[in-house]
Amino acid sequence: MQRASRLKRELSLLTTEPPPGITCWQNENQLDDLRAQILGGADTPYEKGIFNLEIVVPERYPFEPPKIRFLTPIYHPNIDSAGRICLDVLKLPPKGAWRPSLNISTLLTSIQLLMAEPNPDDPLMADISSEYKYNRQLFLLNAKEWTEKYASQ
78 in Cβ contact with 85 (< 8 Å): yes
The question of whether 24 is a catalytic residue gets the answer: no
Distance CA 19, CA 41 (A): 12
Residues 6+ apart with CB under 8 A from 115: 38, 40, 41, 44, 46, 51, 74, 76
Q: Which of 51, 119, 116, 127 is closest to 86 using CA atoms? A: 119
Distance CA 37, CA 118 (A): 19
Catalytic-labelled residue, pool 24, 86, 108, 115: 86
Burial class (CB in 10 A: 0-12, 13-18, 19+), 77: buried
Residues with a known catalytic role = 86
